[in-house]
Amino acid sequence: MTATIEPRAPDIRSAGRRQTAALSAFLLVQTLGTVFFVGDVIGDLRKDPTSVHFLFEAFVTMALVLGILFGAFALRRTVELLRAQEQALDVARGALSEVIDRQFRSWGLTPAERDVAFLALKGLDVAEIAELRGAAQGTVRAQLTRIYAKAGVSGRAQFAAYFVEDLLGQGVAA
C-alpha cells in the first residue's frame, strides 16, 4: 500500500505576510542607508558645497528619499491588496456570513438591526420579518430605514447588491 502525498494549496495569508515583512525589511534598510547619506551630505555641505562629490551624493540621497517614499506607497498598497484578497478568499470559502457580520459591526448596527438586516438579505419582506421577530411592521420599516442610512444605501436592492458585488469579486466598498 502506497501513500500518496497531495500537494498543499499555497497559504495566501502567510505568503502575503512574508511579502509584507520582506518589503518592510527592505524599506528599513533603505531608510538606514538614507540616514547615513543625509548625514554625509550635511557634512560635505559644510566642507565644499560646490564639489562634484557633494552634488553626486546629494543626488543619490534624493533618489534614496524618493525610493523610500515610493517603497512606503508600494507597501501600503500591498497591504491593502492583501486585505482585499483575504476578504475575497473568505467569501469564496463560504464565509459570507462572517463578512456580513463584520460589515454590520463596522456600520454600527445594533443587535436588533443586525437581525433585521440579515433577514432582509435573506429576502424576507417586512411582514415576514415582523412576524418572526414579534414586532410591528412599522418597527421593522423604521429599523430598515436606519440600517440603509448607516450602510449608505437607498433601499433593499442597493443593500443586497452591496454584498452581491462581494461575491462577484468587486470587494466590499469602504
Q: Is the pTM of this model over 0.75?
A: no
pLDDT of residue 90: 72
Rounded Cα–Cα distance for residues 110 and 152 (Å): 16
pLDDT of residue 2: 42
Output the CA torsion sign for 111, 113, 119, 122.
negative
Q: Is 10 left (phi over 0), alpha (psi -120 to 50) or beta?
A: beta
The domain ranges of the chain are 12-92, 96-167
Residues with Cβ < 8 Å from 109, sequence gap 6 or more?
A: 117, 147, 150
**Helices (H) then strands (E): counts for the chain:** 7, 0
**pLDDT tens, per residue, the chain with 174 residues:** 444 444 444 566 677 778 788 888 888 988 998 898 888 888 888 888 888 888 888 898 899 899 899 988 988 998 888 888 887 777 666 667 777 888 899 999 999 999 999 999 989 999 999 999 999 999 999 999 999 999 999 999 999 888 877 666 655 554
DSSP string of 115-170? HHHHHHHTT--HHHHHHHHT--HHHHHHHHHHHHHHHT-SSHHHHHHHHHHHHTT-
pLDDT of residue 170: 52
Q: Which fold, 96-167?
A: Arc Repressor Mutant, subunit A (1.10.10)
pLDDT of residue 6: 40
